[in-house]
Amino acid sequence: MTALVKSGQDWSFSLIEEVFAHIERIAKTKYGLTYYPNQLEIISSEQMLDAYAAVGMPLMYTHWSYGEQFIREQEAYKRGYMGLAYEIVINSDPCIAYLMEENTMLMQTLVMAHASFGHNTFFKNNYLFKQWTDAGSIIDYLAFAKKYIAECEEKYGIDEVEDILDAAHALQRYGVDKYKRPPRLSSVQEENLRKDREAYIQSQLNELWSTIPHTKDKATKTEEDKFPKEPQENILYFIEKNAPRMEPWKREIIRIVRKVAQYFYPQGQTKLMNEGCATYFHYKIVHDLYNEGIIDDGALLEFYDNHTAVVRQLDYDSKRFSGINPYALGFAMYMDIERIAMNPTEEDHNWFGKQDWVGCGDYIKAIKFAVQGFKDESFIQQFLSPKVMRDFKMFTLHDDEADSKYLIAGIHNSQGYKTIRDALAKQYNFGYMIPDIQVFDVDRWGNRTLTLRHYMVNRKPLEAESTTETLKHVAFLWGYDVKLESVDEQHNIRASYEVQEDETLLDVFLDDGSKK
Amino acid sequence: MAYVIIDRRQNDKKKSSTNRARYVRRVREQVKEAVKDIIRDGSITDNLSNKSKKIRINKKGLNQPEFQHDVTGGIRDRVLPGNKKYQQGDRIDKPPSDEGGGGKKGSPDGEGEDDFEFALSREEFLDLFFEDLELPDMIKKDMVSVTEFVMKRAGFTTTGNPSRLNILRSMRQAISRRVALQPPKRKEIEKLEKALAEMKAIVPHDDADAMNLAAGIENLELEIKRLKRRKKAIPFIDDIDLRYNRWEKVPVPTTQAVMFGIMDVSGSMGEWEKEMAKRFFMLMLLFLQHNYERVDIVWIRHHSVPKEVDEEEFFYSTESGGTVVSSALELMAQIVKNRYPLNQWNVFGTQISDGDNFSHDCPVARDVMEHQILPISQYFAYVEVDRNGNRSKSDLWPHYEALTNHKHFVMSKVNDVSDIFPVFRALFEKKGSTK
């Protein structure tokens, strides 16, 4: 048979259909992948830029920050600083993948294998996605959100809505339930429930704030009066439900920001695994296509050209180094899993011990096991082998504020493997990277001050400027004074920030007693 | 598993334009300042070109803050790739503290993190620049030459080209027609057919019964036939339902204006004076181009003899002599008469001079201005450049001053580069309720 895909060849609809059928056949019969139904959308480069700016979603509410993002991308693209992504894929049911008009047929093949099967199977099977996002209803929900926010703008003015969105965006990383699963809802249900919610919240609030002077004064405040009883990690949720005086529509907007943040939460925690999985499968499938003669030698070279650029890892001392490339490390780890499943070395046996998948002879099963049950942090703990660390020449840099020098805590040798693995896993741990800040207390009987607590890890302090700026947003939402305390592991308050509701007065007290 | 390919290339490409407009709105004040700078510093050709204009915005105060760790504090471990020489236990120097421990990522293009540059389109640029400026209200905007037509939607018709079929309207017509005619429902027919089948299945007891049954069957069959015929006669969609979009050819008036730039090139006008003149002309031109679809420019330079020249010669050619202002004004009147019929053109004049004139010509100039120029002009601006600002009166000033009660005539003095824009604004500022 003559090859369908040749180097530099233009795509056509019939060709895409034909190649897609081949890819699907391979994905199903050879790898036994399960995935959402696919929807391929052909778009122009302009539309790709549009798609970038709206956090990749096909529809999104209006906000200036997306405009800024768009202008930034557009300028970078125009000046040639940045190539466009080859693809965007959306975790929805059906799974939408964008194919860019300018791509060659080989690139379209690569994108289909990467997005429509690699990412798609990850979305469908990874436990975090299964647990946290509802691929079936996200588009519906965004339609509701866009319409609702547009209506609010009409009713209350663009500025009012913008203020709320700005403030809620500042807290979006604290608008996520990390342990509870959100319920699934369609947009119609959503609209109906919204109305109930409005009425309900108002009644609850009246209850909470019905502070007909309690006879107790501050001194006799008991543990029972403490509110909230336990620290709350979902700050946005707390504010949405408990802010003393906030119009219902504002609560609804906070809720929208929360929901969108929740939807993206698993993506942030599985970036490495997800990109690795997609890259692994496009690599495998393109080779299968080549072996079957569906793509020719030239096209395979074109593929290598793109693939190697994608999985390139720059060294730490390179000028353009910007961290570990998730495509590179992810791809290397899945390839490594395949190797260990098929031909484990002595070292692998020692390192991984008695795990089922090591040397099991069925690499597809091992890969699927990895895809399903982990997030980046645990994925590294479980699967990062000494070989990959060696290939990447990894080392751990220990930075202690109290020490005038950096310490190389471990390098890619037998004494260092464990250090590197643990440090790298932590690097992918959200709880470790993002400051742990929770709602600690509300002065219910006094001036309604909201107190947040930052639980310090490894003595890492907050950056003062962004903290006070963010606190201003919190105070704006809460409507009363807001306080934030950094507490170390021994429960000593190390730093404290206060913002008055009118945003004009601001005091920062640091633990050395100085006033900034 | 099913899959779909959708060609979205024809869809809206301007999905981000609302967000973009929101951003420009948010940084409006900064953008306005930047626009003024560009006008002030840019060359004429740059400012007049259709190229988009680069705007640099300082992002401070526009950031979206988030709670963040201080990158220098506490203890942290980082895993990095590409080790070349380090061994476990090595101790290496930290970079100087002002670099934030290397934690702050420099952007690849070397731009500061707070600075942000983007391009405004020409329209956005001019809109911002000429915000709250307007042409004086005596402009004959209605005097236009009709040269172009556009097609505009104008309701619906019952006849037309299939490509203009309005499906929504047609279906709406079809529904109302069907509702009005009440075609038999399919369910109704099915019910009758079922009854018929049941009736046919009945075994009659005797002859009378059989006759009744046969009659019943015949009735039913007739009824079903009638209903079916009726149903068939009332089509789902009929020719009379069809509605087409109607388009009408509407003339688009094109407004046009001619601007006369008149400059004195006598010996008393130095480089500095010419530079001022150039800037003022540029603003005037931009403003007219913003308001009119078509703008012609006529450059007239004069000393004792006026001459129509091109832009290059106007600004750069060196020539000098005495000064006779009236001759230039006469030339302008002549050109208008020959080339710019007043029923088609709005005429604007801008004269820039240091005010020197042969004293015997001053009353003549005033006379020409009053009787020949002002009657044909929409607006005439006289700008006197006076570098030192210490000369109380030029030769020409008092003579022109007498004309200021003419509402087509304005005059002003420029002492410094920084005056140009305020003077220009003052001349065209929106005036309360002139309309």
Residue B43's pLDDT band (boundaries 50, 70, 90)? low
Residue B75 has pLDDT above 50, yes or no: yes
pLDDT at position B112, please?
44
- Identify which has the larger pLDDT, B244 or B58: B244
Distance, in Å, from the CA atom of A341 to the CA atom of A363, rounded to the nearest integer, reads 5
Closest by Cα among B22, B46, B9 to A71: B22
Asked if B56 reaches chain A (Cβ–Cβ under 8 Å), the answer is: no
Residues in A touching B83 (Cβ below 8 Å): 316, 393-395, 411-412
The mean pLDDT of B247-269, rounded to a whole number, is 79
Q: Is A245 exposed, middle or buried (0-12, 13-18, 19+ CB in 10 A)?
A: exposed
Q: B409-414 and B379-385 as β-strands: parallel, antiparallel, unpaired?
A: parallel
* Residues belonging to chain B: 435
Residue B6's pLDDT band (boundaries 50, 70, 90)? confident
Supply φ then ψ for residue B172, to 5 degrees.
-65, -45
Alpha-carbon dihedral angle through residues B290, B291, B292, B298, given to the nearest 10 degrees: -70
A-proximal residues of B, 379-408, CB under 8 Å: none
**Average pLDDT across chain B, whole number:** 78
pLDDT at position A508, please?
45
Asked if B96 reaches chain A (Cβ–Cβ under 8 Å), the answer is: no
Give residue-wise pLDDT tens across range A175-227. 888 765 555 555 666 677 777 777 766 666 665 665 555 544 444 455 556 78
Could you list the mean pLDDT of each consecutive 10-residue stretch along chain A, which spans 516 residues? Answer: 80 92 95 93 85 77 86 77 71 88 90 93 92 82 92 92 92 82 59 72 63 50 69 91 89 93 88 94 96 93 91 90 92 96 93 90 94 93 95 93 89 92 90 87 86 90 89 90 90 87 48 40
Distance, in Å, from the CA atom of A38 to the CA atom of A30, rounded to the nearest integer, reads 19
Distance, in Å, from the CA atom of B193 to the CA atom of B204, rounded to the nearest integer, reads 19
Nearest by CB to residue A470, choosing from B67, B72, B94, is B67
Asked if B110 reaches chain A (Cβ–Cβ under 8 Å), the answer is: no
pLDDT at position A511, please?
42
Give residue-wise pLDDT tens across range A46-102. 888 887 777 777 788 988 888 888 888 887 777 766 666 667 888 888 898 988 888
Q: Is A491 exposed, middle or buried (0-12, 13-18, 19+ CB in 10 A)?
A: exposed
Do the Cβ atoms of A142 and A59 come closer than 8 Å? yes
Give percent of chain B with pLDDT exceeding 90: 5
Nearest by CB to residue A38, choosing from B3, B80, B90, is B3
Residue B52's pLDDT band (boundaries 50, 70, 90)? low
The mean pLDDT of B160-188, rounded to a whole number, is 88
Distance, in Å, from the CA atom of A67 to the CA atom of A65, rounded to the nearest integer, reads 5
pLDDT at position A491, please?
86
The mean pLDDT of B87-101, rounded to a whole number, is 73
The two tokens of residue A306 are 């793109």
The mean pLDDT of B380-405, rounded to a whole number, is 78
Distance, in Å, from the CA atom of B136 to the CA atom of B128, rounded to the nearest integer, reads 19
CB contact under 8 A, B9 and A407: no
pLDDT at position A272, please?
94
Nearest by CB to residue A46, choosing from B13, B24, B81, is B13
The two tokens of residue A363 are 């690499």
Closest by Cα among A126, A118, A125 to A283: A118
- Identify which has the larger pLDDT, B61 or A74: A74
Distance, in Å, from the CA atom of A428 to the CA atom of B78, rounded to the nearest integer, reads 11
pLDDT at position A515, please?
39
- Identify which has the larger pLDDT, B40 or B277: B277
B-proximal residues of A, 198-257, CB under 8 Å: none
Asked if B432 reaches chain A (Cβ–Cβ under 8 Å), the answer is: no
Fold category of A435-510 in CATH: Trna Endonuclease; Chain: A, domain 1 (3.40.1350)
> What interface predicted TM-score (ipTM) does this complex get?
0.81
Do the Cβ atoms of A487 and A455 come closer than 8 Å? yes
Residues of chain A with CATH 3.40.1350: 435-510
Residue B158 has pLDDT above 70, yes or no: yes
Give residue-wise pLDDT tens across range B330-350. 899 999 989 888 877 888 888
DSSP B236: S
pLDDT at position A422, please?
93
